[in-house]
């Protein structure tokens, strides 16, 4: 029997995570299904930033590096993120961007690989990986004399062999929402003598991740998607403790020095994850990120990441079920696999004609998803604030737009500078 709107209202009434919606500023009459691109604003963020600006910066000035422990923010926020991704205390720091952190860990991984398996000269990734990951990997390969090899769908496992130095994968694919089996692929790479770098940009805060259980080597991730840290929020970087002191990462900035305030002319890397810091921490951005991470940690009172995952799966399954029923014959082709173990917290569709315009028509109705070239409509589900009734209503809007041809109005085809 098809799920009704009344069923959704009842599911929302019984939802253990429902109180967490009140932690966010959400525009009225808006259905926000784009938390996989930019998380919603936590209500605590504005007040926290005002405190940092007016009190810590405005009154206490430079003394706040000590009195407000600004210097400890990368590690403090990192320890909070670590609880969400199966990392230990003092193993993860919040710093820089995902791209910069990826360059750091790839440099470290390739250095180790050159030492441990000098004949292995390949970095393996996917054609569909997020472009910045591929750009960084291509640059690192050129600099260090490695080959970047890109595999197509379903080709990763059979591309792992003794020639592999580093496997670089995004846990949840940004276009399709397909999720890799992290533990299995890590084990296969290790069996071949390779190291593994995981990009958690579309999984941290949305799906359970256990880096230690998977025996991963390196991980990076994004702070402004499911961690709700705000536009351009700092990213994070994690290194397995067994690797942390084996190398110097390539961006040897002063904050990664063993004693940065001794101002030595020579570089001595700090121990452990601290050597992955580089420049001065962005305090305002880190303060906002901490507020965002706290919204995810608030779910620990209601079952934590397992509860988030259960609701995420329910929301995305409901969306797919309703699109199948309401939008049949409309040209939408689902890209996201439906088995629970194979999808993240989004549902994506391709459409040969009008994908961008359809997304813009939805946004005009207050349903915010996004478009990814060349033809992908993405819908992300953030269980902290997305309701079942939001999903139900969003599909009604999508079906109405497709039936009426509303998306064909000229204004919906005009491209903005940032494509959403």
Tell me which residue of 212, 371, 226 sits closest to 311, measured CA to CA. 226
Q: In whole angstroms, give the CA distance from residue 312 to residue 310.
A: 5
Q: In whole angstroms, give the CA distance from residue 384 to residue 225.
A: 12
Q: Could you tell me which residues are beta bridge partners of residue 164?
A: 122
Say if residues 205 and 226 touch (Cβ distance below 8 Å): yes
Alpha carbon separation from 251 to 68, 102, 278 (Å, rounded): 27, 11, 6
Q: List all residues 6 or more positions away from 372 whose beta carbon is below 8 Å from its beta carbon.
A: 174, 175, 348, 378
Q: List all residues 6 or more positions away from 174 whose beta carbon is below 8 Å from its beta carbon.
A: 36, 130, 201, 202, 372
What is residue 179's three-state secondary structure? strand
- The conformation of residue 385, written as its DSSP 8-state character, comes to T
Say if residues 171 and 209 touch (Cβ distance below 8 Å): yes
Q: Where are the alpha helices (DSSP H) in 145-226?
A: 182-191
Cα separation of the two ends of the chain: 35
What is residue 307's three-state secondary structure? helix
Structure tokens at 38: 């930019």
How many C-beta neighbours within 10 Å does residue 273 have? 25
Alpha carbon separation from 340 to 132, 227, 316, 346, 389 (Å, rounded): 27, 22, 10, 12, 21
Tell me which residue of 66, 65, 94 sits closest to 79, measured CA to CA. 94
How many Cα atoms occupy the beta-carbon half-sphere of 72 within 13 Å?
A: 9
Q: In whole angstroms, give the CA distance from residue 202 to residue 340.
A: 16
Residues annotated as catalytic (active site), given as ranges: 130, 199, 224-225, 378
């Amino acid at each position: 029997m098809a799920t009704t709107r009344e069923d959704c209202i009842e599911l929302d009434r019984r939802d253990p995570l429902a109180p967490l919606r009140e932690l966010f500023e959400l525009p009225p009459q808006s259905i926000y299904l784009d938390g996989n691109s930019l998380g919603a604003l936590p209500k605590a963020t504005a007040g926290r930033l005002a405190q940092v600006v007016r009190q810590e910066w405005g009154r206490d000035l430079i003394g706040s590096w000590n009195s407000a422990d600004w210097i400890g923010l990368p590690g403090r926020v990192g320890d909070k993120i670590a609880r969400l991704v199966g990392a230990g205390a003092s193993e993860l720091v919040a710093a820089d961007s995902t791209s910069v952190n990826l360059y750091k860990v790839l440099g470290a991984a390739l250095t180790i690989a050159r030492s441990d398996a000098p004949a292995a000269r390949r970095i393996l990734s996917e054609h569909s990986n997020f472009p910045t990951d591929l750009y960084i990997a291509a640059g690192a390969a050129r600099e260090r004399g490695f080959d970047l090899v890109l595999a197509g769908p379903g080709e990763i496992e059979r591309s792992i062999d003794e020639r592999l130095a580093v496997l670089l994968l995004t846990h949840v694919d940004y276009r399709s929402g397909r999720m890799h089996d992290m533990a299995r692929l890590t084990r296969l790479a290790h069996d071949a003598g390779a190291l593994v770098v995981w990009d958690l940009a579309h999984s941290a805060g949305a799906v359970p991740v256990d880096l230690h259980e998977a025996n991963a080597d390196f991980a990076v991730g994004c702070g402004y998607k499911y961690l709700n840290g705000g536009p351009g929020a700092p990213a994070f970087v994690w290194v397995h403790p067994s690797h942390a002191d084996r190398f110097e990462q390539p961006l040897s900035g002063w904050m990664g020095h063993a004693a940065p305030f001794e101002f030595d002319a020579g570089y001595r890397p700090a121990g452990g994850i601290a050597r992955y810091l580089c420049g001065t921490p962005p305090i305002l951005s880190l303060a906002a990120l901490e507020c965002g991470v706290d919204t995810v940690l608030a779910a620990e009172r209601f079952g934590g990441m397992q509860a988030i995952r259960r609701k995420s799966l329910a929301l995305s399954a409901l969306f797919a079920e309703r699109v199948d029923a309401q939008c049949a014959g409309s040209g939408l082709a689902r890209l996201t696999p439906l088995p629970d173990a194979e999808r993240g917290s989004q549902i994506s569709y391709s459409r040969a004609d009008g994908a961008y315009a359809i997304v813009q028509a939805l946004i005009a109705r207050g349903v915010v998803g996004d478009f990814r070239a060349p033809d992908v409509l993405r819908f992300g589900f953030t269980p902290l604030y997305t309701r079942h009734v939001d999903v139900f209503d969003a599909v009604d809007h999508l079906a109405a737009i497709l039936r009426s041809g509303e998306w064909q109005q000229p204004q919906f085809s005009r491209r903005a500078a940032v494509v959403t």
